[in-house]
Amino acid sequence: MSIRIRTTPLTVFALAAGLALAAVTPALAGTASTPARPAAATSVQGDPRNVTQRVTDFYGAYIDAVWDTEDPAAGADAKALRNFYLSASARKKVAAWEKKNHADGILFAQNVPVKWKVAYTGSGMGHATARVTLTWSDGKHPEVSRIDVQSDLTTRKITDLKPAE
């Protein structure tokens, strides 16, 4: 019984020290670099048959790949995503735009956006269109750009991309 009494204060002290360290460590880690923001609890679902969902999937994965410039696989991932999601004619058009403008022909920019969203805008003649909104900064008045994306309803491939007017 005397052993239990002696170890209880030691256990309480160790537990308190551990909790204090757990509380201080994230704060100290944040001083060296900007920590990634935790995502809000969300529920996401998808449907590979939905062409607007595929545009959403493409832009999400593509932006992730080009954002992670320190990852050696990022360039190959971005190229593989283009090959999978874009038709051959769309890839040629993007390559021509990039050669002329010296920028990314998927984002129509030299930078990578901090946020993005995709909205269905209509369909007809075997194609669906979506508007991609790219947000380039945070704050009260963020800079945004928009891209109109056309997809083939049969193949679900992106067939055309152009800055929205």
Give yes or no for residue 27 having a pLDDT over 70.
no
Six-digit token string for 164? 């929205």
C-alpha span between 86 and 101 (Å, rounded) = 20
Which residues, in sequence order, are CB contacts of 116 under 8 Å at separation 6+?
59, 60, 63, 132, 133, 134, 135
C-alpha span between 137 and 73 (Å, rounded) = 26
pLDDT of residue 43: 80
Six-digit token string for 72? 């050696």
Helix 74-85 crosses helix 51-67 at what angle (to 10 degrees)?
Answer: 160
C-alpha span between 147 and 43 (Å, rounded) = 26
Residue 28's alpha-carbon distances to 13, 34, 123, in angstroms, are: 22, 11, 52
Instruction: Give the DSSP letter of residue 106.
Output: T
Number of residues that this document lists for the chain: 165
For the segment 113-146, what is each residue's pLDDT rounded down to a tens digit?
999 999 999 999 999 999 999 999 999 999 999 9
Contact (Cβ atoms closer than 8 angstroms) between residue 84 and residue 134: no
Region for 124 from its dihedrals, namely left if φ exceeds 0, alpha if ψ lies in -120 to 50, beta otherwise: left
Give yes or no for residue 26 having a pLDDT over 60.
no
More confident residue, 72 or 163: 163
pTM of full prediction above 0.95: no
pLDDT of residue 36: 60
Give yes or no for residue 15 having a pLDDT over 90.
no
Which residues, in sequence order, are CB contacts of 101 under 8 Å at separation 6+?
108
For the segment 48-91, what is each residue's pLDDT rounded down to a tens digit?
889 999 999 999 999 999 998 888 898 899 999 999 999 999 99
pLDDT of residue 33: 44
Which residues, in sequence order, are CB contacts of 29 under 8 Å at separation 6+?
35
